[in-house]
Structure formats: structure tokens, C-alpha cells
Amino acid sequence: MAASDRTVLQFGPSSAVTSNITAKVHPLVIFNISDCYVRRPDQAERVIGTLLGSVLPDGTVDIRNSYVVPHNEFSDQVALDIEYHHTMLKSHLKVNPQEVIVGWFSTGLGVTGGSALIHEFYCREVPNPVHLTVDTGFRNGEGTVKAYVSVNLSLGDRQLAAQFQEIPLDLRMIEAERVGFDILKSTSVDKLPSDLEGMEVLMERLLTLINDIYKYVDDTVEGHAVPDNSVGRILSETVASLPKLSPPAFDKLVNDSLQDQLLLLYLSSITRTQLSLAEKLNTAAQMP
Amino acid sequence: MANTMARSFLQVAAAEEVAPPLRVVQIEGLVMLKIIKHCKEFSPALVTGQLLGLDVGSVLEVTNCFPFPIQEEDEEIEADGANYQLEMMRCLREVNVDNNTVGWYQSTMLGCFQTAELIETFLNYQENIRRCVCIIYDPSRSNQGALAFKALKLSDSFMDLYRSNNFTGEKLREKNLSWVDIFEEIPVKVSNSALISAFMTELEPDTPVTQRDYDRLQLSSSPFLERNMEFLIECMDDLSVEQQKFQFYYRSLTRQQAQQQSWLQKRRDENKARKAAGEEPLPEEDPSNPIFKPIPEPPRLESFLIANRIANYCNQINGKFFDKARDCFQKGFRKRLRDSDGPTLTYSQHPSRMTETTILFCYWNFVSSISSREREREDVLDLVSSTPMSHSVWIHATNS
């Protein structure tokens, strides 16, 4: 920064890098944090721990795993069990060497004074750690998850303070997790959903979507709803993208695949009978 | 009074604690997510990890887990592995996680997990822990849409038999043990703490449009089926090899018996001749003669495991819905696709043909709702009802 006559207190990101950071969180991390919070020792108000993950090439921080670190908090002092932190880090690195420290988390809504000290500690481990707060107290009536990076406030050359700046957070789920999302929501599920039930649920969702679209189109045509050209264009594109198969062609397509599947079914049923036969041969043979 | 009380207390204490049979395995959502993540990250390599939890009555609760690092062949695996385990357990203990081992989990590829190593590991675990389960997760099947978690344990009868090394045909017939009895599958229940479910409900995206899990509706199950068929064919080959071993054994056994008979006959004749000549009769047995050496029976374990694997593949191929399909069909599934606004479609479906029929319904429904032309609707209707289905799928369209 060019020297000027008056020193100016600089808010805001001092470099382009901090303004572009976003964070992606896997739900596993939230689960882990909630579980640790539920299991915390009685006198602790909040739990603190390390976040593991990686930094993607486009600058987003991908938070994939976490573990809690025991700590003690007094009025303005914080004591973190550093040895535990390093041991756990080593163990985790043994399993997955790509997951490195990317930051730390704490439960509770805001950022407190103690957090700054802990953040400094993590700054020594990783250049720009991300601080994640998970509000387990539901103070705002909802569970807020926020991520911060620390930005240095400097007055000229002097470091004044570090400001925690919020960065956009994205909750991300991989395919398999989404499959089980419904069962992760409730407090108890009696059995895992099978293929059939999962398919059913999906079909119903698809149908509701189609129903909504149908209703919307109806309303627009009759003049109840405001016509929106872009939506209309998207809809017509979607409809046009359905493959235009003549009935005989569609017929043949369905029948062919049906026949293949029936053949496989037949083969596998034969195999099963063969199995029971083999079993009989194996154990029932009597030698005089 | 005190005496009788004390005695009954003593009696109770002395009486063997009969463990209630394991009925259900209760997994926490956290554990499932961890397992899914670990297996998916390293697929197609197979990975394992340890399960921690509590054993409560007839429910085995699994509350946490940690993964095992992939072991290189040339390092000192034993010490490292044990150290890693101890450290993890110690660290988890400090944060109040139940560090009670209740089993292990492993990932599998399309379900070929029934191996001799699995049985060995089970026996190892069983020595230290009274009750343990193995959770099998199949990431490739989960890509198809089902959450492929299975909790397995060895059946007790099999374990006793195996431990006593009495794995011969005689014993098996005695106990009526066949290949289905080796593994017992235990139903899995998922539980979550209230805090977590609050969070999840909170974080769920608002509109279903953003949920991009329509990949499951993709009907191209052919790569999956192909791989299944490949594995099935390989297993059939293995099974035939095992069968041949048995055939060989029986053939050689018969041959040996025939040889023994002829030798015995010769001896008897010789003895008669000797008696006539007044000499000592020779013994009727000769242990040093090689034809009396008992031929070892080939182990049956492998063929049992192969049979298990084949059954698994068959189940997976049979439309993936085979067993559940039977239940659904018995329930007499009827569903109304659309409400009274437009043409309604009622169908009674045979679930093994679900995939084809559902795409037909959607197409029909979509076309009929978008296009108001009677002609087009009729065309599609003809198509749908004329598609020959060998099982009973009736589609009645009623115009309301």
C-alpha cells in the first residue's frame, strides 16, 4: 500500500484472496460436531476442535472431516490440549494423507475473545485457517452455521486487531449421502429403505414437480399468473428435449430391454436351483 | 428372611447369564456417514474400520467408528496397526466416546465379501468380545440408489462346528447345516440424536428442484448388471472346480474301498490256505499298506462360501427387487397416479417390472398433460397397453 499522509484504518479484505474464499462443508462435519457437543463434559460450555479437509484449486476450502480437542476455558484464558491435537492429526493423516488442517470449529453463536487466541494458535499451523461456528443452542431460533476468516486490521504499519469476517458457506452432500438423507433426518428409523421404497419416493417427488408445472402452465394460459418468458422458454425446451420416438420404435426399445432383463432373471433363477442341487450333492452323499 | 434373600441373590449371581439373542443393530447416523465417506473415498479399493458402541440387551448400539489405514505390505504392519488402534481408542476415550469395540466394518465390491478371511476375522473378534457384528457397505450398489448396509454375524452353530474343526460331511448332515446357515443377517435400525435431526431438518434445501438425486431414476442398470453377471460367471466356475474336487474324492474313495475289499479277500483266501497247512493266520489288517491310508476329505468351507456369493449375485440380478417384490405383490399394490383433474391412471403393478412401467407412466402422464390433443393421448395409451408384458401388469386408464 502506498504511504499516505494520513494513516487510515482499513476495514475490509486487504487482499483479493480473502474476498474470494468460500467454504464447503460436508454434513459429516456437522454430525460430528453435534455428537461431540452432546458428549461434552458437564462443565464445558462449548466444544472446540480441528477441521480437516483440503483447499480446492479454485480457492474454496473443502471441509470434510473434524475431530474435537479437549480444552479448558477460564475467564479470558484458554488452554487447548495441543498434544491430543497432534496425536489425532497424525492418526487421521495415516488414514487419509490428503486431509490436512484447514481450520477449527467451535459451538456457540458468536465469536468470543477466547476464540481469537485459539485462532492465533491455528494460524501457526495453517496459513489461513477457517473458523466455523455451529450454533447448537439455536439461539436465533435456527441452527446457524457460519464460517469466518480472520482479517488483520492494521493502522498503517501497526497491527491493531484481527477481525473475523464471514465467508459464504455451502453445504454439500455426495450422492450416497443424499440417498440416505431422509433417514438421517429423523430420530429413529426402523429399517433401511430398500430400492423399491426409494424409487417410490422419488417418483412421487417427480410427479409433484410435474403437477406444479402443469398447474403453473394452466394458470398462465388462463391469465391467473403473470407470464414469465424465461420460464416459458425453459419449459418448452424441456418438453422439446423429450426424445420424439414413434410408437413402434418406443415399443421395440422397451420390449428389447424387457427381454434382456427377463433372460437375466431366468438365468439367475436357474443358478439358484443349481445351487440347491449342488448343496444336496455336497452334503447328502453317503459313503457306505 | 435375610437368609432366603441372600440365597436367592447368590443363586441369581451364580446362575449363568444367558445373553438374549441379538435382534437388531442400531446405528447412529454419524457412523453411517463416516462409513459412507470412508468407503467412497477409497473405492474401488476395499477398506476396513472399527466400530465402537454399546451392547445393550438384544440391541447392539453402534455409536462411533474410525477407519483403519490401508496397510502396505512391506512395512511392519502388526505393531503399527495395533498402535494406531490403541491411540485412537485412547483419544476417543478422552472426549467421552464409548470406546468399546463392537465389531468392524468393511466395504465390498458388488457383494463378494463372503471369504474365508471374513470368517477368520470373525473368530478372532469373537474370542475377545462376546458379541460383534460386521457391517458391510457396498458403495457400487449405493450408486444405484439403495443404501447398501448389511449387518452380519456368524451363526452360533456354524461357529461351534468350525471351531471344533469338525467340518466334515457327516457332522454337517448331523446338524443340518447348509450354506445358508453360515451368516446371519441382522436388521439395521438408524437412530439420531435430537440435535442432529434438528440440524438436518434445518439444513435441508428448500425446494426439491435443487435436490439433484434424480440420477437414481436413471434406468441404465446395464453396467451394474454386466459386472454382476461377470462375477456370477466367475463364481460358477469356482463352484464347478470345487464340485470336481468332490467328485474326485468320491471316486478315489470308492476305488480305495474296492481295493481294500479285494486285498481283504486275498488275505482271507491266504488265511484259509494257511489254516489248511496248519500255519498262523495272517492279520486281516495291514496298516502299512498304502491302500488303507484314509484319504483326506476336501474342505467344504470354500464351496459353502462360493454358494453364498452366488446366491448374493442372483439376488442382486433378480430385478434388485426380488424378495421385496414378493411382499409388495402380496400386499396388492394399487396406486392412483393423478388426481381427479385429468385422466386418471390406475395400475396394479408387478414390482419386478417396476422400472419399465414407471417410465411408461411418466411418459404417458407427461404427454397427456402437456398435449391436449386427444389423438396423441390415445396413441400413447395404445402403446402402453399393447406392450406385451409376460407378467401381469394391467393398466387401465379412465377418463374422469
**Got the DSSP string for A221-267?**
HHTSS---HHHHHHHHHHHHHS----HHHHHHHHHHHHHHHHHHHHH
Per-residue pLDDT band at B185 (split at 50, 70, 90): confident
Q: What is the pLDDT of residue A196?
A: 65
Q: How many CB atoms lie within 10 A of CB A277?
A: 10
DSSP-derived secondary structure letter, A281: H
Contact A49, A69 (CB under 8 A): yes
Is the pLDDT at A183 greater than 80? The verdict is no
Output A130 or A108, whichever has higher pLDDT.
A130
CA distance A91 to chain B (A): 7
* H or E segment and range at residue B153: strand B149-154
Contact B68, B49 (CB under 8 A): yes
Over residues A213-233, the mean pLDDT reads 82
C-alpha cell at A89: 492429526
Residue among A95, A184, A283 whose CB faces B29 most closely: A184
Q: What is the pLDDT of residue B46?
A: 82
Find residues 195-254 of chain A whose CB sits inside 8 Å of chain B: 195-196, 198-199, 202-203, 205-211, 214, 217, 239, 242, 247, 250-251, 254
Over residues A159-184, the mean pLDDT reads 67
Is the pLDDT at B241 greater than 70? The verdict is yes
Q: What is the pLDDT of residue A81?
A: 83
Q: What is the pLDDT of residue B175?
A: 64
Residues of chain A with C-beta less than 8 angstroms from the C-beta of B308: none
Which residues have C-beta within 8 Å of that of residue A152, sequence separation ≥ 6? A14, A159, A161, A162, A163
Closest CA to A200 of B337, B395, B197, B190: B337
Q: Please state, in angstroms and rounded to a whole number, the distance separating the CA atoms of residues B263 and A137.
A: 89
> If DSSP codes are grouped into helix, strand and coil, which group holds residue B295?
coil
Q: Please state, in angstroms and rounded to a whole number, the distance separating the CA atoms of residues A185 and A183.
A: 5
Find residues 199-228 of chain B whose CB sits inside 8 Å of chain A: 199-204, 208-209, 211, 213-217, 225
Q: What is the pLDDT of residue B27?
A: 86
Closest CA to B182 of B108, B247, B114: B114
> If DSSP codes are grouped into helix, strand and coil, which group holds residue A38?
helix
Closest CA to B203 of A197, A177, A89: A177
Q: A147 pairs with which residues across the strands?
A: A132, A167
State the amino acid at position B190 in one-letter form.
V
ipTM over 0.85: no
Per-residue pLDDT band at A17 (split at 50, 70, 90): very low
Q: What is the pLDDT of residue B116?
A: 78
Find residues 92-111 of chain B whose CB sits inside 8 Å of chain A: 94-97
Q: Please state, in angstroms and rounded to a whole number, the distance separating the CA atoms of residues B307 and B84.
A: 36
Q: What is the pLDDT of residue B346?
A: 37
Strands B48-56 and B101-107: antiparallel
Kindly report, residue by residue over A56-102, the tens digit of the pLDDT. Answer: 888 788 888 888 888 887 776 778 888 888 888 888 888 888 888 88
Over residues B312-325, the mean pLDDT reads 59
Closest CA to B188 of B348, B29, B353: B29
Q: What is the pLDDT of residue A82?
A: 86
Is the pLDDT at B327 greater than 50? The verdict is no
User: Of A158-172, A252-266, B41-55, B372-386, which range is least confident?
Assistant: B372-386
Output B148 or A102, whichever has higher pLDDT.
A102
Average pLDDT, chain B: 69
B204 contacts A181? CB cut-off 8 A = yes
Find residues 71-110 of chain A whose CB sits inside 8 Å of chain B: 81, 84, 87-88, 91, 94-96
Q: What is the pLDDT of residue B397?
A: 33
Size of interface A-B (CB pairs under 8 A): 267
Is the pLDDT at B218 greater than 80? The verdict is no
DSSP-derived secondary structure letter, B229: H
Residue among B32, B195, B387 whose CB faces A255 most closely: B387
Output A141 or B74, whichever has higher pLDDT.
A141
User: Of A169-178, B252-261, B381-390, which range is least confident?
Assistant: B381-390
State the amino acid at position A38 in one-letter form.
V
Q: What is the pLDDT of residue A131?
A: 85
Kindly report, residue by residue over B269-283, the tens digit of the pLDDT. Answer: 888 888 888 777 777
Residues of chain B with C-beta less than 8 angstroms from the C-beta of A96: 41, 67
Strands B133-137 and A23-25: unpaired
B33 contacts A28? CB cut-off 8 A = yes
Best-predicted range by mean pLDDT (A5-9, B69-73, B184-188): B184-188
Is the pLDDT at A194 greater than 70? The verdict is no
- Report pTM: 0.71
Q: Please state, in angstroms and rounded to a whole number, the distance separating the CA atoms of residues B245 and B360.
A: 50
Q: What is the pLDDT of residue A180?
A: 61
Average pLDDT, chain A: 76
Q: What is the pLDDT of residue B42?
A: 81
Which residues have C-beta within 8 Å of that of residue B37, sequence separation ≥ 6? A26, A28, A64, A65, A174, A177
Q: What is the pLDDT of residue B328?
A: 37
C-alpha cell at B355: 422400472
Q: Please state, in angstroms and rounded to a whole number, the distance separating the CA atoms of residues B200 and B163.
A: 46
State the amino acid at position B343 in one-letter form.
P
Residue A175: C-alpha distances to residues A214, B66, B201, B220, B224 (Å): 29, 21, 18, 17, 17
Is the pLDDT at B297 greater than 60? The verdict is yes
Q: What is the pLDDT of residue B288?
A: 66
Contact B360, B366 (CB under 8 A): no
State the amino acid at position B184 in one-letter form.
E
Kindly report, residue by residue over B13-30, the tens digit of the pLDDT. Answer: 555 556 667 788 888 888
Q: What is the pLDDT of residue B15?
A: 54
Residues of chain B with C-beta less than 8 angstroms from the C-beta of A89: none
Kindly report, residue by residue over A147-161, the tens digit of the pLDDT. Answer: 888 777 767 666 667
